[in-house]
Amino acid sequence: MFTEFDRLAMTQALALAERGLETTHPNPRVGCVIAQGDRIIGEGFHERAGEPHAEVMALRSAKEPVAGATAYVTLEPCSHHGRTPPCVNALIEARIARVVFAVQDPNPRVSGQGADALLRAGMTVEAGLMENEATELNIGFMKRMKDGLPWVRVKLAMSLDGRTALANGASQWITGEAARADVQRWRARCSAIMTGVGTVLADDPQLNVRAAGFKGRQPLRVVLDARLRSPVGAKVFGGGVGAGGGAGVGGGAGVGGAAGVGGAAGVGGAAAAGVDGGAGRGADPGAGPVVVFAAASAEPPDQNSVSGVAPSADDATWAGAALSGAIPVDRRPSAQASTVESTAAKSDSPADFRVPRAALSGKGVRIEEVPSDDGYLDLPAVLKKLGEMEVNEVLVEAGPTLAGQLLTTFLVDELLLYVAPKLLGPQGRPLVNLPELQSLQDAWGFSLFDAKRFGDDLRLRLRPK
């Protein structure tokens, strides 16, 4: 049904679409090629939500008549009035004769109706050319439109012996520069970066994009913090939130080089977080808005820990505490009733409860309450909320507890696993916390989507079987 040229033209349309990889959020990445016979006369791609779609860009770029031409589009042309008018109208008015598209638009406002409109106008319409490639390119958009949930990609880095850090917590720079630069590209393309309070406390990450040539909006930053124990001075609350930017942040010294950038971008981030919940629109060069998910029954946090200083507590324990925060102290399993937890339980006055909320809100941080199930944040509820906030792809950069929780609740769509050629020894920290298995048959299985070398490190992309 499709010719060799059709395939070539669609390959080019996909390459064009990929140019919007880091900028189209929350829209899909779409490319379009216009050809007269076997000659390409127009090319375009969708760059940014609110700006023209790929078809319009391709039609505009044509330097010769397009009547009677074929349009190759990586996604079914839209038929609705969104931020821009319907592409099917533009194609019909241009008197395009044939439209070949790779995959149906899963958006219920478009799905099937775009193709119908073109057929009704007398065009030849063919679908399904390089459908897999086009689906992959918009894997998050596809999932969100179909299920209302984002694509969950969990990034992990480990040694050859499956350890992520030394027993004393030292973990920075396990992987090399090339692998770390690659992680920045995955941050750049995602709609949101998600972590747990354990990682905030232990590593104090910024969760922003610091990638060369990045032109997109900074992704939403998501912190899962059942009991609101995140220090208000954490870097994640410092850049891109609150008009004060880094100035109002206790741990300002630690914000380092990014402080200036984050500070400058602060107003935009705050507005987005406060108004529409942070899946904010508009370019923000420093850092994205922040949303903290807390248990609906969140206990008052410990004021002593709201200091901006990362404690030296065991990361796994802290990450575990993040998810078990709503468990009343006397019901907590002893393994999780760390010193830190016991201390936290001492200051349960309502005043304590209000202060950090106000402090976080004052920084433009949005706090979302979700149900907690037996003390664990309801992760499907978190993801559903992110879907409502138009998050297509969420990159999880967290500790072994949250990664394990996502796996055991079958919410992981993809693992991005970097393997560094080092041995850390059996005392090091494990990759993910999972319940003990009794039979090898119960082992968690994955299929290898691809493997790529970055310097001396290896990146595996794995999808649960």
204 binds ligand AOF (CB under 6 A): no
Would you say 85 or 162 has its CB closer to ligand AOF? Answer: 85
Beta-sheet strands, E only, within 109-248: 124-127, 151-159, 163-165, 192-196, 220-224
60 binds ligand AOF (CB under 6 A): no
Residue nearest to ligand AOF (CB): 82
Q: How many whole angstroms separate alpha carbon 326 and alpha carbon 145?
A: 32
Please select the residue that binds ligand AOF; options are 23, 27, 175, 401, rule is CB under 6 A.
27
13 neighbors 74 (Cβ within 8 angstroms): yes
73 binds Zn ion (CB under 5 A): no
Choose, from 43, 47, 55, 393, the residue flagged as catalytic: 55
Q: Which two tokens stand for residue 465?
A: 């079987």
Binding segment for ligand AOF among 25-33, 238-246, 288-296, 406-414 (CB under 6 A)? 25-33
In the residue annotation, 397 being an active-site residue is answered as no
Please select the residue that binds ligand AOF; options are 10, 13, 30, 313, rule is CB under 6 A.
30
Q: Which two tokens stand for residue 96?
A: 């395009």
387 binds ligand AOF (CB under 6 A): no
Would you say 107 or 218 has its CB closer to ligand AOF? Answer: 107
Cβ atoms within 10 Å of 275's Cβ, excluding its own: 12
**Which one, of 77, 23, 6, 16, lies nearest residue 43 by Cα?**
16
Please select the residue that binds Zn ion; options are 25, 29, 53, 144, rule is CB under 5 A.
53
Count of chain residues binding Zn ion (CB under 5 A): 3
164 neighbors 174 (Cβ within 8 angstroms): yes
Q: DSSP label at 232?
A: T
Burial-class residue 306 by CB neighbours within 10 Å (0-12, 13-18, 19+).
buried
User: Distance from first CA to last CA of the chain, Å, rounded?
Assistant: 33
With both helix axes pointing from N to C terminus, report the angle between 339-346 and 315-324 in degrees, rounded to the nearest 10.
40
143 binds ligand AOF (CB under 6 A): no
CA-angle at 82, arms to 76 and 85, nearest 5°: 75
Return the one option of Zn ion, ligand AOF, none that residue 49 interacts with (CB less than 5 to 8 A, by type). ligand AOF
**Which one, of 143, 81, 30, 188, lies nearest residue 391 by Cα?**
143
Would you say 85 or 205 has its CB closer to ligand AOF? Answer: 85
| Residue in the structure block whose two tokens are 């990759």 | 431
Binding segment for ligand AOF among 79-87, 229-237, 384-392, 412-420 (CB under 6 A)? 79-87
Please select the residue that binds ligand AOF; options are 9, 34, 40, 54, rule is CB under 6 A.
54
For residue 97, the minimal CB distance to ligand AOF (Å) is 18
For residue 440, the minimal CB distance to ligand AOF (Å) is 44
Q: How many whole angstroms separate alpha carbon 214 and alpha carbon 284?
A: 11
Binding segment for ligand AOF among 70-78, 132-140, 295-303, 396-404 (CB under 6 A)? 70-78
29 binds Zn ion (CB under 5 A): no
Binding segment for ligand AOF among 76-84, 161-169, 233-241, 269-277 (CB under 6 A)? 76-84
77 binds ligand AOF (CB under 6 A): yes
Would you say 44 or 428 has its CB closer to ligand AOF? Answer: 44
> What are the residues facing 35 on neighbouring strands?
40, 70
3-state secondary structure of 33: strand
Return the one option of Zn ion, ligand AOF, none that residue 457 interacts with (CB less than 5 to 8 A, by type). none
144 neighbors 150 (Cβ within 8 angstroms): yes
Please select the residue that binds ligand AOF; options are 22, 23, 28, 270, rule is CB under 6 A.
28
Per-residue DSSP letters for 428-449? SEES---PPPSSGGGS--EEEE
By CB under 6 A, the residues from 80 to 139 that bind ligand AOF are 82-84, 87, 105, 107, 110
* Residue 353, C-beta contacts closer than 8 angstroms, at least 6 positions apart: 298, 299, 300, 301
**Which residues bind to Zn ion, rule: CB under 5 A?**
53, 78, 87
**Which residues bind to ligand AOF, rule: CB under 6 A?**
27-28, 30, 46, 49, 53-55, 75, 77-78, 82-84, 87, 105, 107, 110
Catalytic residues: 55
